Chain A
Amino acid sequence: MKIHTTALSYATLVSVWLIVLLTIASEISAPLKAGLVSLTGHHWTSKGVVLVLAFFLTYFLLRKKEDASDIARFVRLVIASVVIGGLMIFGFLLYDFIGA
């Protein structure tokens, strides 16, 4: 089995941004948080399940496409996403705490 780097890169990017989106959106939207809770009993567990599913779904959907092999660009995107996404989560929670 040969790993498809483009599909793997997109799967990683989708997972990172889905974490950021679900974290912030579930704090803003009570129905979304309740929906996540209803899936597994806890919103954090549901986020984990959704992320794993999204990761593998993205990989398997994109693995048939041509492998661009532009790994340097993907790595820059992944690092930028982790840094910006991480700061967004921390910044949102800090803002929410200060504003509360």
Chain B
Amino acid sequence: MYLYLVLFLISNIMHTLVGLHAFLGEAGALAFLWVFIEVLNASSPSIKRAFRVASVGVVLLILAWIAGGWHYLTDYATAVKPVIKAGPTPWAHIVITETKEHIFLFIPFLAFFVWGLLHRYRDELMTNADARKAVLAISLLVVLLAFAMAGMGVIISSGFRAALESKLL
């Protein structure tokens, strides 16, 4: 009875961590999409909004890093990774997870770079085309990388599901 309860709690914590990681990561991506749109039509109020949203975005992405890292080092390492590696698509872990866990690390630094540029240039973004393009380009890069992480997450989940199905069917 207690064993089932423990397994139930572990499995729910695992799902919560994955969900939290995905939510925080995608919310962070949307924050930088918001920054992109605000800076695309740069005005003094829109730059102030962009800076506030970028600040929230940086925090969201750092929290996504912590939640994803916690899951990766605990439940994923013990319960998911061995199953995927023993299943029909071991590359889902060996190539995709390993790529995701490292390329993800680019994102918080790029997000902080955008925050720093917004902090440095502020209203100058209305007149300095190079600075505006810089914020736009790196914001878009953050969005694209974050959505690429979500895509890789889907592949990893599919690898886990395929491994479980191969045992059940």
Contacts and interface: CB of A to CB of B under 8 A. Distances in A.
Contacts of A35: none
A96 B91 CA distance: 11
Main secondary structure of the interface of B (DSSP, over half): helix
Nearest to A19: B105
Contacts, number: 87
Interface residues on B, range: 20 to 34
Given A3-B119, A93-B99, A75 B109 contact: no
Given A75-B137, A78-B113, A82-B110, A94 B102 contact: no
B98 interface: yes
A51 B109 contact: yes
B153 interface: no
Contacts of B119: 3
Interface of A: 2-5, 8-9, 11-12, 15-16, 19, 23, 42, 44-45, 47-48, 51, 55, 71-72, 74-75, 78-79, 82, 85-86, 89-90, 93-94, 96-97, 100
Interface of B: 65, 69, 72-73, 91, 94-95, 98-99, 101-103, 105-106, 109-110, 112-113, 116-117, 119-120, 130-131, 133-134, 137-138, 141, 145
14 contacts: A5-B117, A5-B120, A8-B113, A8-B116, A23-B102, A44-B73, A44-B101, A47-B102, A79-B137, A79-B141, A82-B110, A89-B102, A94-B95, A100-B94
